[in-house]
Amino acid sequence: MTKTDHESLHYMDEEAKRKKRMKWTIGIIAFVIFQVVQALFFVLVIMKFKSPKFRVSEFNFQTLNVGTQASPSFDMSFVAPIRVKNTNWGPFKYDASTVSFTYGGVQVGQAIIPKSKANFKSTKKIDVPVTLNSNALPSSSNLGNELSSGIITLNSQGELKGKVTVMFMFKKTKTSQMNCTMAIDTANKAVRSLTCK
């Protein structure tokens, strides 16, 4: 073997080693980038705790009785479909609570929400019997005018406190607020509109 052959072999050997080192380096860099992307996804998506949505949905009346403009009153009963929508990647365990139904800022009834949990990425459905009446309203209320128009406006407010748990170890306390306004059509005995904030 000549000197140039030795140099050529040595050069090819060095080239093979360099290519091998390059492959290892690219592999390690790709692995590190993959781990960083995974960690970012975990922090930005999985670990982003949100307050679940707490709402009342539309319902049908079991009973609805109203007075007149001269003698304004109402009493009604229905099953309130309460919904707790949990968009987190872990369950939301909440304590027992109440939803207050008001007319003109005066409480006319309430619904009891039992302690429970909404699973991850799901909506917990709770059907609660509710009875409302105007007995607590002052005589100066606007009920007579609303009865003559055929629409009664009610509000429902509530607060749900609980904890979201992700991966069985990361916990965060969250509070959900309900603030819904419903227009009741007294002639058709139906909910005309229902909006929640």
pLDDT tens for each residue of 85-135? 999 989 999 999 999 999 999 999 999 999 999 999 999 999 999 999 999
Dist CA 171 CA 115 (whole Å) = 18
Dist CA 18 CA 3 (whole Å) = 22
Q: What confidence score (pLDDT) does residue 38 get?
A: 80
Are the CB atoms for 152 and 113 separated by under 8 Å?
Answer: no
Q: What is the mean pLDDT of the chain?
A: 89
Average pLDDT over residues 145-161: 95
What share of the chain in percent tops pLDDT 70?
89
Which SS3 state, helix, strand or coil, does residue 168 take?
coil
Confidence of residue 2 (pLDDT cuts 50, 70, 90): low
105: DSSP letter: T
**Among 127, 155, 121, 128, which residue's Cα sits nearest to residue 52?**
121
Q: Say if residue 47's pLDDT is above 80.
A: no
149: DSSP letter: H
Q: What confidence score (pLDDT) does residue 182 get?
A: 97
- Per the DSSP assignment, residues forming a β-bridge with 150 are none
Average pLDDT over residues 31-56: 80
Confidence of residue 1 (pLDDT cuts 50, 70, 90): low
Within 42-167, residue ranges assigned H as helices are: 143-149
Are the CB atoms for 100 and 158 separated by under 8 Å?
Answer: yes
Confidence of residue 190 (pLDDT cuts 50, 70, 90): very high
Q: What confidence score (pLDDT) does residue 124 get?
A: 96
Higher pLDDT, 20 or 187: 187
Q: What confidence score (pLDDT) does residue 84 get?
A: 96
Q: What is the pLDDT of residues 60-82, one digit of tens each?
A: 999 999 999 899 999 999 999 99
